[in-house]
Structure 1
Amino acid sequence: MDTDDVLRLIQEVAAEVVTPRFGHLTDDEVGEKGPGDLVTAADREAEARIGEALRRAYPSALVLGEEAVADDAGLLDAFRTADHAFTLDPVDGTRNFVHGSPDHAVMVAELRAGEVVRSWIWQPQHEAAYVAERGAGAWRDGERLQRPPVAADLHGVTGRRSWVGRALGTLRALELTWVCCGVDYPKLVEGAADYAVFGSTKPWDHAPGSLLLTEAGGAVGHFDGTAYRPQQDPPFGLVAAADAEVLALVQGLAGALPLPRR
């Protein structure tokens, strides 16, 4: 499948099984994978349909879907050693989706030999398509993206609510993100914030946006200074930044943030 084919796939599936349920979910279409971790019929159906199409097009590739991992955590072990793989987040920002926020997305990333080589983010309610290809750039609706210069007073955001209001060194206090990686990364690319700090590093959340950001001139790495690699079993804590200089600055300060234990 070429890049446009994959984008059309996720747009069509979103139009058929995600968007019709937005604002119309019934009680029996919403459940929990764990305490407070929501899943909907839209998540499950979209993952099944997109995953089936990817497996049909790429029989030897591993498809790592968020909902499949919830049922079989062993898939993560297979993913870490796969030479060719896709990550799939059928409804990123499920809580937003359930509560009527337009800030949700369908996301796919393709990895070869451990590197993200293509990624797709479709925001159905915003009708915005973000596509990136390693070495070829990042795009929104066919328009080339370039991360704008950073603000003099760096603006940092986080999706971890316990970190909101904390200041890293002399930087201004962290504000809440859009609580959806499929919106957070595009917002970083477009200049709505200069950096974001995340606690969780799940590959289906960060693989698509990390390529979009780096292809637009940004940088991504862990709190401990190591590079982001979706197939590694990394330490908690991830920084996504406007450029390499901001990344290094924030990495040197983010270690003060309290991280969950494994």
Structure 2
Amino acid sequence: MDTDAVLDLIREVAEKVINPRFRALSSEQVDEKGPGDLVTVADKESERLLTRFLVDAYPEAVVLGEEAYAARPELLEEFQSAEHAFTVDPVDGTKNFVKGSPDHAVMVAEVRAGETVRSWIWQPQHELAYVAEVGAGAWRNGERLTRPTPAAEPADWRGVTSRWRWLGRSLGDLEPLKLTWVCCGVDYPKLVEGEADFVVYGRANPWDHAPGSLLLSEAGGYAGTHDGRPYRPTDPLEVHERPAGLLAAADRATYEHVVPLL
């Protein structure tokens, strides 16, 4: 499937099973996978549809969906060893979706030999489509994106984090960290568009970060681990029995300045 066809598919699925549930969910349509980890009927149905379409188009590929992984964790190992795979985050920002916030997204990424090669982020309530392809750039609704140059002084950078216990913490001479948009499918576009200069994540789940990290890199930014390695979607989810962290930054120089401060 070409890039536009996949985007059309994502939009179609969102229109069919996500948008009708926005601000219309009943309590029976919302569950918890764990304490505070919400899942809705929209997550489940959209992931099933997207997975079915991708498997039909690419029968040899492994499709790693967030909800499929929750039901069958061994799927992650299949994804990490696959030559060709996809990640699917059916409703990224589920808490926002449940609360009625428009800051949620559908995300898909294509991975070959461990590297993300194409990605799609669709924000249905904002009607914004972010698409990236290795070597072909990052795009928003057909407009090419280039990450603005950060301020010359690090003290002027805006850092955000999804780690609640890090909120308000200062890293060296940098401003205290503020909260992200609580949705990777919004965080990465905001970072690319210059509304933040770096984002500190405590976890690096591939369905959360494969799409946005490619958008970021194709726009001139950089994503790497807390221990200084370039981010790859097939990285282990834990390092030394702790969740693997990720730092997404406006450019490589910003990353190199911030990462020793974590």
Q: Which of the five TM-score ranges fits, normalised by the shorter chain? A: over 0.9
Number of the residue aligned with 2:74: 74
1:160 offset after TM fit, Å?
A: 1.3
Matched residue, 1:95? 95
Partner of 1:60: 60
Matched, 1:224 2:232: no
SS at match of 1:16: helix
Task: Tell me the SS of whatever aligns to 1:90.
Answer: strand
Counterpart residue identity of residue 77, structure 2: D
Q: Counterparts of 2:123 and 2:2 in 1: how far apart (Å)? A: 20
Determine the structure 1 residue equivalent to 2:124: 124
Counterpart of 1:2? 2
Taking the aligned partners of 2:90 and 2:184, their CA distance within structure 1 comes to 12
What is the match of residue 248 of structure 2?
Answer: 240
Q: Of residues 129, 133, 158 in structure 2, which corresponds to 1:155?
A: 158
Using the alignment, how far apart are the partners of 1:45 and 1:71 within structure 2? 14
In structure 2, C-alpha distance between the alignment counterparts of 1:145 and 1:96, rounded to whole Å: 26
| Code of the aligned partner of 1:227 | P
Match of 2:147, SS?
coil
What letter is aligned with 1:239?
Answer: L
Cα distance per residue 1:69-115 (max 9 Å; x no partner): 00000000111100000000000000000001100000000000111
Q: CA separation in 1, counterparts of 2:232 and 2:216?
A: 14
Is residue 2:188 matched to residue 1:185? yes
Q: Within 2, Cα distance between the matches of 1:126 and 1:164?
A: 27
Q: Distance in 1 between matches of 2:245 and 2:55?
A: 31
Structure 1 distance, partners of 2:223, 2:202, is 13
In structure 1, what is the Cα distance between the partners aligned to 2:27 and 2:47?
20
Q: Which residue of 2 aligns with 1:114?
A: 114
What is the Cα deviation at residue 209 of structure 1? 0.1
- Give per-residue Cα distances to partners, 1:5-27, cap 9 Å, x unaligned: 00000001001100100000011
**What is the CA-CA distance between 1:237 and the residue it aligns to?**
1.3
Paired amino acid for 2:209: H
- Tell me how far apart the structure 2 counterparts of residues 237 and 67 of structure 1 sit (CA, whole Å): 21
TM-score (norm 1): 0.96
Q: Deviations over 1:10-62 (max 9, x none)?
A: 00100110010000001110001111100000000000001000000000000
2:229 counterpart letter in structure 1: T
1:84 corresponds to 2:92 = no
Matched, 1:203 2:206: yes
Report matched runs for 1:29-68 at 5 Å.
Answer: 29-68=29-68
Scaled by the length of structure 2, the TM-score of the pair is 0.96
- Taking only the aligned residue pairs, the percentage that are identical comes to 65
Moved beyond 4 Å, runs of 4+: none
- Give the letter for the 2:62 counterpart: L
In structure 2, what is the equivalent of residue 24 of structure 1?
A: 24
SS across alignment from 1:38: strand
- The 3-state SS of whatever aligns with 2:172 is coil
Q: Which amino acid aligns with 1:172?
A: E
Structure 1 residues 97-149: Cα deviation after superposition (integer angstroms, max 9, x where no partner)? 00011000000000001110000000000000000000110000000000001
Task: Please give the secondary structure, in 1, of the residue aligned with 2:32.
Answer: strand
Superposition RMSD on alpha carbons, in Å?
A: 0.7
